[in-house]
Amino acid sequence: MSSAAHLVPPAIGSRGKTSSRFPAAFGRRFFLLLLIGLVWLGPGWSDSRYLLAILAWDVALLLAWLWDFAGLPKPEQLEIRRAWTSPLQLLVETKVTVEVQNRGNCFIEVEILDDVALQLRADVPKMNVTIPAGAQSAAEYNVCPRERGDATLGTVSLRYQSGLHLAERWASAAIKQTVRIYPDLEASKRDTIYLIRSKQVALEKRLAHQRGKGREFESLREYRESDELRDVCWTASARRGKLISKSYQVERSQTVWLVLDTGRLLRARVLGLSKLDYAIASALSVAQVALYSGDRVAMLAYGRRVQQRLTPGRGPSHLRALLEGLAQVRGEEPEADHRRAVETLAVFQKRRSLVLWFTDLSETATTPDVVENALHLTRRHLVLFTVIGQPELREMLEARPEAPDQMYRYAAAQEIVHRRDVLLRTLRHEGALTLEVEPARLSSAVVNQYLLAKERSLI
């Protein structure tokens, strides 16, 4: 994306308030001085006047604590603000800044705790800052999102003391905030930039002036006997006093559908990410290339029901809507309803289009439901059927078995790979394009296939 500034969560702030019914505590130095006062306890066994000295010491210490507590700023005199430096992206570290404004008359040392969602950070961030009277200080901590979607941050809690460290106040700021975690935006740029540079210029030149049986208007010319009556431009014919026909060219702008299976098979994890995460990153990459090429892009994410649906469109606003939809796609535990996806696509896309279907194949004795529905879809659309491979299967086949249990695993892996190859060959025989690729190379492989389909005018 050209600019991700609009994806940064907004800063949010609030004045402090009393965090509990008894928002006060004793500081470390208070207890240290209290222990020092116990030194007189030994002589007190022989002379009771020393016990009175202990009592006087404790009363003086308590008065000092009250004086220190009264000098601390009230919670309402503190302003707390949470700010973000960049958009939240999957497995990308992002800095969060917590700013505290001290409007009191006392220098304070503050311990800050932020209530962060587990999907952003495993532990509660704890920061320490010192703030002079009437000044502002800030502290930072990092989050590394582990799931896409929305995450909620809650209350910021403060514990602060003066330089005496006798008394401590507690305060909190209810700056509850919901932020959205997007796919890795920079990864999509890295995966596709070389493909855009190497192929897009040649592609545009090739398709710039192809006349044919497309329905995109190109120019007007005199009527010929071979022309169809539906191609006659009657308004131009009336003006010129002779029949004028419309000339068409092959459409340079097609519709690309991104179809994402969110069922249980896509919940499998490879190198810390689910297969669905890889599919979404790849969908974002090819969407940017397709929009750059002038195509219209649509999206359908489905499980047992349709999760997200975006009708065809183009432009920066459409890319933003697509990104928001992809961020909210979630994996589901049951098997996805592939027939529902095909029926939904048939309702919203009548004309031929390119369908990029991201899915996986279940290990069943019969033909998987997803393959049967993909075959049905090839009657009208060009389908790029993308299966996200499992690296462990290929590794098992490359290793030579040396024990009976390894032989059983080798045979099972061989059978699975062979069955996948047969199913993909069946789809290719019916006119579909197929890909089985490891997750790490998924984005570049899919974008490459999309550009090849454009070059060959397959859509």
- How confident is the model over 239-261, as pLDDT tens digits? 888 888 877 655 557 899 999 99
Q: Are 157 and 276 in a shared domain?
A: no
The CATH number of residue 377's host domain is 3.40.50.410
385 CB neighbour count, 10 Å cutoff: 26
CATH code of the domain covering residue 133? 2.60.40.10
> What is the predicted pLDDT for the residue at 395?
65
Percent over 90 (pLDDT), the chain: 44
Weakest mean pLDDT among 95-99, 305-309, 361-365, 374-378:
361-365
Q: Which long-range contacts (CB under 8 A, 24 or more apart) does 231-234 make?
A: none
Task: State whether 285 and 225 are in the same domain.
Answer: no
How do residues 170-189 score in pLDDT, each as one tens digit? 999 999 999 999 998 877 66
Give the single-character DSSP code of 385: E
For residue 217, the model assigns a pLDDT of 56
CB 450 within 8 A of CB 382: no
Based on the domain organization, do 141 and 202 belong to the same domain? Answer: no
Type of residue found at 421: D
Q: Are residues 197 and 226 in the same domain?
A: no
Residue 296 reports pLDDT greater than 90: yes
Nearest to 71 by CA among 184, 153, 198, 165: 165
Q: Which amino acid is at 36?
A: I
Q: Is the pLDDT score of 216 beyond 60?
A: no
Q: Among residues 249, 270, 301, which one ends one of the domains?
A: 249
Average pLDDT, stretch 153-168? Answer: 92
What was the pLDDT predicted at 270? 83
Same domain, 217 and 201: no
- Cβ neighbours of 129 (radius 10 Å): 19
Residues 219 and 299 in one domain: no
Q: Rounded to whole angstroms, how far apart are CA atoms 290 and 195?
A: 12
Q: Mark residue 271 as left, alpha or beta (left: phi above 0; alpha: psi -120 to 50; beta: remaining).
A: left
Torsions phi, psi of 271, nearest 5? Answer: 55, 45
Q: pLDDT grade, residue 45 (50/70/90)?
A: low
What average pLDDT score do residues 286-312 get?
92
Tell me which residue of 116, 108, 127, 125 sits closest to 151, measured CA to CA: 116
pLDDT digits (tens, 9 = 90+) for 351-406: 889 999 999 887 766 678 888 889 999 888 999 999 987 777 666 666 677 677 76
**How confident is the model at residue 209, as a pLDDT?**
46
**What Cα–Cα distance (Å) separates residue 401 from each residue in 395, 398, 404, 416?**
11, 9, 8, 17
Across the chain, mean pLDDT equals 84
CB distance 311 to 344 below 8 Å: no
Is the separation of the CB atoms in 364 and 414 below 8 Å? no
The domain of 219 spans: 212-249
What confidence score (pLDDT) does residue 200 get?
A: 55
Distance CA 395, CA 392 (A): 5
Helix, strand or coil, per DSSP, at residue 383: strand
Number of domains in the chain: 3
The upper half-sphere exposure of residue 9, i.e. CA atoms within 13 Å in the direction of its Cβ, equals: 24
* Widest Cα–Cα separation across the chain: 131
Average pLDDT over residues 302-319: 93
Give the separation between CA 284 and CA 81, rounded to whole angstroms: 33
Quote the pLDDT of residue 159: 94
**258 and 195 in a common domain:** yes
> Stretch 342-346: mean pLDDT, rounded?
93
Residues 151 and 35 placed together within one structural domain of the fold: yes
In a shared domain, residues 286 and 427: yes
Lowest mean pLDDT among 206-215, 226-235, 258-267: 206-215
The residue-averaged pLDDT of 23-48 equals: 78
Tell me: do 198 and 177 sit in the same domain. no
Q: Which of 61-70, 89-98, 358-367 shows the lowest mean pLDDT across its residues?
A: 358-367
Q: In this model, does residue 107 exceed pLDDT 80?
A: yes
The reply to whether 233 and 375 lie within a common domain is: no
Please state, in angstroms and as integers, the Cα–Cα distance from residue 155 to each residue in 17, 81, 304, 346, following that order: 11, 11, 36, 47
Task: Please state the rounded mean pLDDT for residues 138-155.
Answer: 93
Would you call 186 exposed, middle or buried from its count of C-beta atoms within 10 A (0-12, 13-18, 19+)? exposed
Q: Indicate if the pLDDT at residue 336 is higher than 60.
A: yes
Between residues 241 and 126, which one has the greater pLDDT?
A: 126
Rg (CA), the chain: 33
Q: How confident is the model over 194-215, as pLDDT tens digits?
A: 556 545 544 554 544 444 445 5
- Domain co-membership, 143 together with 44: yes
Q: What is the pLDDT of residue 117?
A: 92
> Which distant-in-sequence residues (6+ apart) come within 8 Å of 256 by Cβ?
286, 287, 290, 295, 296, 297, 298, 353, 354, 356, 450
Confidence of residue 47 (pLDDT cuts 50, 70, 90): low
Q: Which of 3-17, 100-114, 118-132 has the lowest mean pLDDT?
A: 3-17
Please choose, from the candidates 66, 43, 89, the residue with its C-alpha nearest in 3D space to the C-alpha of residue 327.
Answer: 89
DSSP states of 31-100 as a string? Answer: HHHHHHHGGGGTGGGT-THHHHHHHHHHHHHHHHHHHHHHHSPPGGGEEEEEEESS-EETT--EEEEEEE
